[in-house]
Structure 1
Amino acid sequence: MTRQKYLQLIHIAAQHLKLDDATYRQLLHRLTGKTSAKTLNIGQLAQVLNALKAKGFRIQPTKPTTKKQTDRPQIQKIQALWQAMADDGIVRDASAKALAHFVKRETGCDSPYWLDNPQASQVIEKLKQWQKRVARSTSC
């Protein structure tokens, strides 16, 4: 577990156990000799977290996302546009890797699945514009 995750869990545990600031700092001092979790090393952070668990804190598992990333309509649209462009010969490589490369170049995101809504809209519009440009140049 990372240092940041330990700090996060310790602060959540203190809130969950309703420890006021003075009690929380006394606990830290009693266990580690320090009064701030920021100054603790990983071993000391684990020690504090274990003590909080002994007082009744339980780490709740994160809730799984109910929606798959591919269920997002914008992602489906991006994939459909990319496939249609590949079928029309506009895109040479229809692979997900090639799409990811395009998305990276346009938005800086490594994967279409990581796009937020405005970025996904931007990618959709870029793909549509690309399709229109090719359609105009072949109709002349």
Structure 2
Amino acid sequence: MSRRNMDLSKIHIAKKDLGLDDEIYRSLLFRVAGVRSAKDLNPRTTGKVLAEFERLGWKPSAAKPGRKKPAAAPDRAKLVGKIEAFLAEAKRSWAYADGMAMRMFNVERVEWCDPGQLVKLVSALTYDAKRHGRPVR
């Protein structure tokens, strides 16, 4: 999801949470950003609208925590464990490893990688750890 779409979603969630009817919502958009519709907002005015909602008492919900460790077949469990250790040491989420799998192998999730691909992910994370001075075991 793009940053723009995420911000527009936040605006509509804030509208709902604050219980604004359409007329009041559109007048707020016009007062703060000079537009009548959220689709006409640019990044700067989007931030102004979100700040106004927060000023009015809206509190954005906390970000969802990362996903759980992927379930791996027995032949891959050790490699997934190593990947998990590297991610924890670097304070990164599973989304980071999923992004690596996507860039390296065009596979969306780590758990869908075959053992050979997992070995390559471990190698890449080992290289990253050495480059950033983190311990490699």
| TM range, smaller chain | 0.5 to 0.7
Q: 1:109 deviation in Å?
A: 1.4
* TM-score, L = length of structure 1: 0.53
1:79 aligns with 76
1:109 aligns with 107
* Divergent runs of 4+, >4 A: none
2:36 aligns with 35
Q: Which one scores higher on RCO, CA 8 angstroms, separation ≥ 6?
A: 1
Aligned length: 92
Structure 2 unmatched runs, 5+: 80-100, 115-137
2:3 aligns with 2
CA RMSD, 1 decimal: 3.2
1:54 aligns with 55
Give me the identity figure in percent.
33
Larger Rg: 1
Alignment CA distance shift 1:29-1:10 (3 Å): same
Structure 1 unmatched runs, 5+: 83-99, 124-140
In 2, distance between residues paired with 1:78 and 1:31?
57
Structure 1 residue 16 corresponds to structure 2 residue 46: no
2:124 aligns with none
In 2, distance between residues paired with 1:3 and 1:66?
23
The structure that is helix-richer by fraction is 1
In 1, distance between residues paired with 2:41 and 2:56?
20
